[in-house]
A and B are shown apart, each in its own frame.
Chain A
Amino acid sequence: GQNIDQPTEMTATEGAIVQINCTYQTSGFNGLFWYQQHAGEAPTFLSYNVLDGLEEKGRFSSFLSRSKGYSYLLLKELQMKDSASYLCAVRDSNYQLIWGAGTKLIIKP
């Protein structure tokens, strides 16, 4: 079966760095997406990786290793507004998006 694993919850301190991991087993691979979802709101697109390596976008970076079926989202200089759920999603060989359950990130002052 297809599976996306990410931690259920993480806690970090304002101003610090946090890394949210995602491992996947899917039938084929056509890209990995990270989304941010604040409570009661719809997800918003953060990043896309299809080749191995690091993609940087301001305070957020996303890394992919296809051979390991592994990605992480790195958030730097954490702000209180970064408190949200972070969803990892993989597009399989049929171009279907397989969603992880999300990681709830709690930022403490």
Chain B
Amino acid sequence: GAVVSQHPSRVICKSGTSVKIECRSLDFQATTMFWYRQFPKQSLMLMATSNEGSKATYEQGVEKDKFLINHASLTLSTLTVTSAHPEDSSFYICSAQEGEDGNQPQHFGDGTRLSIL
């Protein structure tokens, strides 16, 4: 149980392109979903927390207009990297938490490796 699907797994595109990443909880309802970015050999960096039906909460230093998050249902959240540039190249990972019980772990998608040329 607790499977999170993230798509696409890899994107290579030109600078200026907007890229959309989907995160789905397949067998549970995710009240809260999280978006992380991870640079090589570094730890996870939380970008934003998204709750179904409300605006995402962004971490300090993360541009809201650059990284658009939509959490339209209890099983789907999307991250759109708008007008991507080479410095946006990174490993983006989503996670989903079942319910609001603090005992529940975050379950991660497989990540999206984004490369901007």
Task: Please report A residues at the B interface, Cβ cutoff 8 Å.
Answer: 30-31, 33, 35, 40-45, 48, 50, 87, 91, 95, 97, 99-102
A87 to B45, CA, bound (A): 12
A3 to B52, CA, bound (A): 29
Answer whether A48 and B42 are a contact pair too, CB < 8 Å, given A41-B110, A42-B93, A42-B110: no
Tell me if B54 is interfacial: C-beta within 8 Å of chain A: no
Identify which of A45, A48, A50, A99 contacts B44 (C-beta below 8 A).
A99
The 9 closest A-B pairs by CB, nearest first: A42-B108, A101-B43, A42-B111, A45-B105, A30-B102, A42-B93, A99-B44, A43-B108, A42-B110
> Is the Cβ of B43 less than 8 Å from the Cβ of A42?
no
Task: Please report B residues at the A interface, Cβ cutoff 8 Å.
Answer: 6, 34, 42-44, 46, 91, 93, 102-103, 105-111, 113
> Is the Cβ of B105 less than 8 Å from the Cβ of A95?
no
> Is the Cβ of B102 less than 8 Å from the Cβ of A42?
no
> Is the Cβ of B102 less than 8 Å from the Cβ of A101?
no
Identify which of A40, A45, A50, A87 contacts B43 (C-beta below 8 A).
A87
A35 to B34, CA, bound (A): 16
Determine chain A's interface SS by DSSP, over half rule. Answer: loop
Which residues of B have CB within 8 Å of A48?
103, 105
Identify which of B6, B42, B44, B103 contacts A43 (C-beta below 8 A).
B44
New contact pairs (8) apart from A43-B108, A45-B108, CB-CB < 8 Å: A33-B106, A42-B6, A42-B93, A45-B106, A91-B102, A95-B102, A99-B43, A101-B42
A97 to B102, CA, bound (A): 10
A21 to B41, CA, bound (A): 19
A102 to B43, CA, bound (A): 6
A65 to B82, CA, bound (A): 44
A35 to B93, CA, bound (A): 14
> Is the Cβ of A31 less than 8 Å from the Cβ of B110?
no
A97 CB to closest chain B CB (Å) equals 7
